[in-house]
Amino acid sequence: MADTAASFSRSFAQQPWGLWRRQAARLTLIEVRRNLFSWKASWIYFLAFIPTLLIFLHALIDRHFVEGISDDTNVLAGIVEFYYVRLGIFFGCLGIFSRLIRGEMIERSLHFYLLSPVRREILLLSKFAAGSISALLLFETAMLANIALMYGPFGAAGRDYVFHGPGLGQSEAYLVIIPLACLGYGAVFLLLSMMFKNPTPAAMLVLGWEAINPVLPSVLQKISVASYLRHLMPVNIPGEGIFALLTVETEPVSGWAACLGLLMLIAVVLTYSCYRIRRLEIRYTTE
């Protein structure tokens, strides 16, 4: 047992980590350059910044009294829970991450990466990192702008709420929820794009799964991105009508456990994705 552990440790240390790091950094740079600064990504900008635009119009048009802060806080929480987590980040990540592998197969350019001296696992994880950076840059920037535009018009009261009041914890929670959502959905869509020629129908099933997940048994709730994020929401929004399904009270889970659970789910999905990419074949004629 000790020999096996020592052998594993030696083998681990002998791996070319420096080379892998350089390759991963270069691949990530190439992918970010292609993902973030392309016209094809413009609809994802739209998804990220449409609430920002609406909040901006609200800031310009509506009057802002101190008593309105709690209403705007609920609106912001609703935007994060119902728009970003359920739709904006969901479809944004579908666009970003499904293009990383499947898009390259459709464009018949994936073979260039598979013919480079880069382990396929490094390729996949670099692409995931690039997709995550793109999604994070867009959605975190949008979220920061949303917070600024939502509370800025309240003047000193708004600043006090954000920097010294409950707004600080809420903002921190949102700035954690957004990346986790990007990573979670990103990992799922990266895998789906390797499993299906057209990942969109599968993504619609995931959307449905995420919607009904709160009423499923707690074991099944662990296979859902939104269910983990729900436990991190700093503000509870009373749901009405169809939204009630999304806000069902479930077994309480601590923030740390939810974060760890989601990160473990991401790790499992990425591990399986690495297994899939090892066996990926280039057959463009069947795409």
Which residues bind to other proteins, rule: CB under 8 A?
A: 16, 19, 22-23, 26-27, 30, 33-34, 38, 104, 107-109, 111-112, 114-120, 278-279, 281-284, 286
Q: Which is nearer to other proteins, 19 or 205 (CB)?
A: 19
Shortest gap between Cβ of 286 and other proteins (angstroms)?
A: 8
Looking at beta carbons only, is 105 or 181 nearer to other proteins?
Answer: 105
Closer residue to other proteins, CB minimum distance, 94 or 100: 100
3-class secondary structure for the chain? CHHHHHHHHHHHHHCCHHHHHHHHHHHHHHHHHHHHCCHHHHHHHHHHHHHHHHHHHHHHHCCCCHHHHHHHHHHHHHHHHHHHHHHHHHHHHHHHHHHHHHHHHHCCCHHHHHCCCCCHHHHHHHHHHHHHHHHHHHHHHHHHHHHHHHHHHHCHHHHHHHHHCHHHHHHHHHHHHHHHHHHHHHHHHHHHHHHCCCHHHHHHHHHHHHHHHHHCCHHHHCCCHHHHHHCCCCCCCCCCCCHHHHCCCCCCCCHHHHHHHHHHHHHHHHHHHHHHHHCCCCCHHHC
Q: Residue 37 or residue 164: which is nearer to other proteins going by CB?
A: 37
**Residue placing its CB nearer to other proteins in the complex, 64 or 99:** 99
Q: What's the min distance (Å) between Cβ of 42 and other proteins?
A: 14
